[in-house]
A and B are shown apart, each in its own frame.
Chain A
């Protein structure tokens, strides 16, 4: 059974550009969440989607957005990149529905903003 797949794994962008990251959840999973990991702030929740609807959102500026498609695949977008957006972006999937499901993570996308 394939795990959570994230693309691209590594990318370098210039300040002011935008970036789109992609996540394919485990087959059958309907919930996809995104997290940002930085040395200074640790692991922080960005948002979660379930059945194409944003169900929960973290405390990030509007430059961070996401969406989920009918096949549960998800994308997140960061516009007008800042140097502080350099981070490991992790996608997680779970079956969704009720709380307390096991949540599985992908290998992440390493974003460097220069």
Chain B
């Protein structure tokens, strides 16, 4: 069965510090997809990134970067020079490729609440 673990329940950092959110996943599939979402207090899950299991290249988008390591089954998320607007709950999620028919079921981690202190 698939599983996503976000061991950090809450993190607080001072503005402008860098912070890394950890995500460890379990799956028996060789083809799978990893996601990160941001959830502000309004409730909406804001899509940040999708990565497939065959693409281990790290990705950078502005102040955000992601480190995907299949050897350790991890997909960590780093925010550089954090800002108050980054305060939110962040979720890591996994979906598996069941068949060519498709599968959009996401298994989520429990989330990490990030607080940026001004």
Of the candidates B35, B91, B102, B108, the one whose C-beta lies within 8 Å of that of A98 is B102
Stretch of A68-76, A78-86, A101-109 contacting B (4+ beta carbons < 8 Å): A101-109
Question: Chain A, interface size: which category?
Answer: 20 to 34
Question: Chain B, interface size: which category?
Answer: 20 to 34
> How many interface contacts (CB-CB < 8 Å) are there between A and B?
79
Instruction: Say whether A92 faces chain B, with CB atoms less than 8 Å apart.
Output: yes
Of the candidates B47, B96, B103, the one whose C-beta lies within 8 Å of that of A105 is B47
Q: Give the distance in Å from the alpha carbon of A107 to the alpha carbon of B41 in the complex.
A: 10
The reply to whether A45 and B50 contact each other, CB–CB distance below 8 Å, is no
The smallest C-beta distance from B95 to any residue of chain A, in angstroms, reads 6
- Residues of chain B at the chain A interface (Cβ within 8 Å): 31, 33, 35, 37, 42-47, 50, 52, 91, 93, 95-98, 100-111
* Between-chain CB contacts (< 8 Å), 10 pairs: A48-B104, A50-B104, A92-B104, A94-B104, A103-B95, A105-B44, A107-B43, A107-B44, A108-B44, A110-B43
The reply to whether B43 and A96 contact each other, CB–CB distance below 8 Å, is no
> B97 — which chain A residues lie within 8 A by C-beta?
99-100
Q: Given A99-B96, A100-B95, A110-B43, are A56 and B108 also a contact pair (CB < 8 Å)?
A: no
The reply to whether B44 and A56 contact each other, CB–CB distance below 8 Å, is no
The smallest C-beta distance from A90 to any residue of chain B, in angstroms, reads 6
The reply to whether A108 and B43 contact each other, CB–CB distance below 8 Å, is yes
Q: Give the distance in Å from the alpha carbon of A99 to the alpha carbon of B91 in the complex.
A: 20
Q: Which of B35, B44, B103, B104: most chain A Cβ within 10 A?
A: B104
Residue of chain A at shortest CB distance from B49: A102
